[in-house]
Amino acid sequence: MNEVLKLCPFCGEKPMIISLPDNHLHSFAVGCQNEKCNARVSGATMEDAIDVWNERVTDEATN
């Protein structure tokens, strides 16, 4: 898998993929590496978490 992670939509820092313990509802998360930001999303699979992280609202959708 060579999915490219977009920068954090809130602060512009690089994100990281996090593998969560099995007792969580979701198995993977993508989170901002900036300690002051803490933006994070999760998904059942790594691909799901990446897709959610990379999703952005476009200017066209907000008009």
The 10s digit of each residue's pLDDT in 6-58 is: 999 999 999 999 998 877 676 999 999 999 999 999 998 999 999 999 999 87
What pLDDT band is residue 59 in, cutting at 50, 70 and 90?
A: low
pLDDT in the model for residue 2: 56
User: How are strands ordered across the β-sheet holding 40-43?
Assistant: 15-19, 28-32, 40-43
Range of the domain at 1: 1-56
Domain count, the chain: 1
Structural domain contains residue 62: no
CA-CA distances (angstroms) from residue 26 to 13, 21, 30, 57, 60?
Answer: 23, 9, 11, 23, 31
Query: Is the Cβ–Cβ distance between 29 and 20 less than 8 Å?
Result: yes
